Amino acid sequence: MTAQELLEKIAFNVIQGRVEAEDEGFDEGLEGQPGVTELVNEALAQGLETRDIVLEGLTTSMEAVGEKFKRNEYLIPDMLASAECVGVAMDILSPHLIKDGVESKGKFVIATVAGDLHDIGKNIVAIMLKGAGYQVIDLGTDVPVDRIMAAIKENQAPFVGLSALLTTTMRVMGEVVQQLKEEGIRDRVKVLIGGAPTSIEFAQEIGADAYCKDAFQAIDLLKTTVA
């Protein structure tokens, strides 16, 4: 198998949501064929550039998944399956990326704010950010302001992503922005928010840098206006 064929197979299996050979795909008859885990390890064994594996095998495939999601061809569970493939691949690739001197695009603290336990959207964004080359510090769910602040300062992170699915918890996002101002580091940290009850208007109201309706828009914004 040529390097290009291998990269195309990785991308195909990400879109199919196949982590390992035993996994079924969206198409029939794939069970037993190498999945993302096996293919990424094979690519490394063949000496493929880690940057090429990330860009051509993972990033482009998740862009394709994003398009399918926008066209309602994929539902959230389908997107999660593909995102899991990227997460597993990035775990395999991370030590090689460091060794090869592939620079991170920056540290990104991400959290679901205090009082909120919803994490599907946050998890997808975290995986997409890893695939796009960011070093993600995922604090999990129900994270209080002081812990978010501590992580930002400890990691000197230039980005923070805040998620909420409840109208009762979304106000915590504003408290994070306010705390950044009070501690004199607001100008050094880009704040992205997302979640069902949030909006562009709410982002403007609390002084966040951007509202992201989904993981794909978050990546697009980081490429352009926010970065």
| Structural domain that includes position 190 | 107-223
Q: Which two tokens stand for residue 141?
A: 């769910």
Q: How far apart are CA 115 and CA 33, in angstroms?
A: 43
Q: How far apart are CA 102 and CA 72, in angstroms?
A: 35
Q: Report the number of distinct structural domains present in the chain.
A: 2
CA–centroid distance for 179 within its chain: 25
Q: Which two tokens stand for residue 206?
A: 């609390």
Alpha helix stretches (DSSP H) within 17-119: 36-45, 50-52, 60-70, 76-99
The whole model's pTM is what?
A: 0.76
CATH number at residue 40: 1.10.1240.10
126 and 209, same domain (yes or no): yes
* pLDDT at site 214: 82
89 and 127, same domain (yes or no): no
Per-residue confidence of the chain (227 residues) as pLDDT tens digits?
899 999 999 999 999 999 999 999 989 999 999 999 999 999 999 999 988 998 899 988 988 988 898 899 998 889 889 988 998 998 899 888 777 767 778 899 999 999 999 888 898 888 888 877 788 999 999 999 999 999 999 999 999 999 999 999 999 999 999 999 999 999 999 999 999 899 999 999 999 999 998 888 888 888 876 65
Q: How far apart are CA 197 and CA 33, in angstroms?
A: 42
34 and 124, same domain (yes or no): no
* pLDDT at site 120: 82
118 and 93, same domain (yes or no): no
> Which residue type occupies 52?
D
171 and 191, same domain (yes or no): yes
CATH number at residue 215: 3.40.50.280
